[in-house]
Structure 1
Amino acid sequence: MENIIYLDNAASTSVDPRVVEAMLPYFSQYYGNPSAIHPMGRLADEALETAREQVARLINCQPEEIIFTSGGTESDNLAITGVASACRGNHIITSEIEHHAVLEACHALVKKGFEITYLPVDRSGQVSAQDLQAAITPQTALVSIMAANNVIGTLQPIAEIGAICRKRGVFFHTDAVQMAGHLSVDVKRDNIDLLSLSGHKFNGPKGVGILFARSEIPLSPLILGGGQEAGLRSGTENVPGIAGLGVASEIAMAEMESEAKRLCKLRDDLINRILADIPGTCLNGHPGKRLPNNVNISFEGIEGEYFTKELSKQGICVSTGSACSSESHEAPYVLLAIGRERELANCSIRLSLGKMTTAEDVNKTVAAICSVAAKIRKQTRVW
């Protein structure tokens, strides 16, 4: 769309044209069911196995350790509920700022007799490895800590957490939905046992993701049926989407380093100019250990949802935080967890950059934010 500046890439990204090209044949040319043994089925199955290898290279695991799912939410649920159902321990450790897919899965397990420890975070949004170490008990079956937060962009000390879990003999799951495809993820290096990612967060299609599960991990399926995906995720696989996810993974491997550098430069320029040009603003999240594309800022006296609507009138697409909870009208729980007062937490917006974001987009966005912020404050007489 002309005159639209899209800065909500943490919610969803555009599909890379190379990904679209890879997907198209599996809609109308190679449309067989991959479980069938005839030639059309074999061609579809070959696409699955090629994509499995491509995604495995992205996170440095074995192809057979990749389980294709419908996306990050299903992967998180399969990891948490699947391990909980298969293990003897009844204790799970997570953090206060996880995605709802993790938090709601944990809430459901409480009804089944599980004990959940929700670790606090510091003012930058990071979990303390020492707090984690102290929280582990003989009954701990799983630790689930996200790699990067979807609202404030803070990166967690995943390698340190993984080392602690491996030493203590506890399984470690990380929701890497926001990080995968943007920064290096290595399940062997970081001692990760289970990992979730979603294609539409790094220029792949919606409706497809993976759960990496290390081969030794006991896991019970959520979906029963024909036994696809080694019996861990029944149902005919989304072959076009999976083929697209594979190509998106290959592109990410080739381009993520240069793209991360480019986005970090744009991100820092955006942050510095907003904080310098608009009084009563503060950055949310870690100033340095954050995703290359994430900017989350609070504006005193400007309600976040109203701000996003006014910016939309200027053609600027931003959000107030997680797309999965944007209609809840509640103060962002992530910002409350890092110590922001409720009023200021409600006055935040998230801008997330992507492949299509340019320096000119940043210039226009800063000008629009300055103009709209001044207009709102003048109208409401609160500044």
Structure 2
Amino acid sequence: MNAILIKDTTDFFKAKFGNVPDKIVLSPGRINIIGEHIDYNDGYVLPAAIDKIVCFAFEKNNSNTAKIHAIDLNESLKIDVTKEETISDIVWTNYLRGVLFQLKLKGYKIGGFNCVFSSNIPIGSGLSSSAALECGFLFGINKMFNLDIKPIDMALMGQSAEHWVGINCGIMDQFSSIMGLENKVIKIDCRTLDYTYHDADFANYSLILFDSNLQHSLFTSEYNNRRIECEEGLSIINENYPEINSFRDCNEELLIGLKSKMTDNVFRRSLYAVKEIKRVIQACTALDKGDIETLGKLMFETHQGLSKDYEVSCTELDYLVDLAKAEEDVIGSRLMGGGFGGCTINLVKKGSESKIKEKFTTLYAEHFKIDLITYDVKVSNGTSLYKN
């Protein structure tokens, strides 16, 4: 599938600009095995890049104008790269404008260029298509103009670009898009940006995503609300225990002792964060031991926390996870991404994938009158130059 995408993007570039592109960049989406909503809570996350990508084609054009075309939307954008960026009503352009704003902010000088891009990352499914867009765009500019920006700094600039757009995201999405390695998950310490790779050997199980086919209608406002609630919880902890500055240094017993000082929502958000940080550590241990059954159990626990304590699930996602719990051949399932729609990530026994997909698709359609979309994913490399 990626080979077709690369060819189509390259051909489109030739037809539009009359030249063979100088650079082809592949920028992946990501999954997160466990550690949801923890990247902005100073904890650990366990993401991986996947084999679904945004493909970019670039060349310099010896001007001050960037000419960019989104193939899938059939929409174009022209930007004077010497001028300050402002937010546009055309949403997709803001992620690119945000990258250009970050480059200017940090003093990087670039010229004009031509760019087209196309993607097979499903939009709105929690696979971080926006991070792939930011990181691939920045990676290509970095290569074209020899800016020598380090990979981790590119991830941070991508995150800042998303903040500029208005999503106050953590670092996980951009980090995993840039730093991913084939057949490896990344444990990221979101406080220090230290990271370690762990083998993504799921043994007798396949990774399958079930896309609820619902958009994140509440995502932006509720995502930012969760951040505010967690900040309030941490502030109350710190007022009573000045030595504790992070949920990772807190435990359930201490938190329960402060319950009366918090609103119910703030307590439950904080409790989820404390528990989930510990689950990531346990998940890494399970992966290192090849104990995929324990990993699956932790995924179910995470969904329970996201649904009941963090309240970012929805009826449709809960239904999909309940279906998974009832299946002997599915050992782990949870919602993945921001919530309020998007996908569940599932560990499905090899050999039973088709049967499970068919059953879930039928039951979901009967129950909600919505088509379930399924994706098989493999852990892949991060943002890179494509070489023939």
- Using the size of structure 1 for normalisation, the TM-score is 0.25
> Which is strand-richer, 1 or 2?
2
- Using the size of structure 2 for normalisation, the TM-score is 0.25
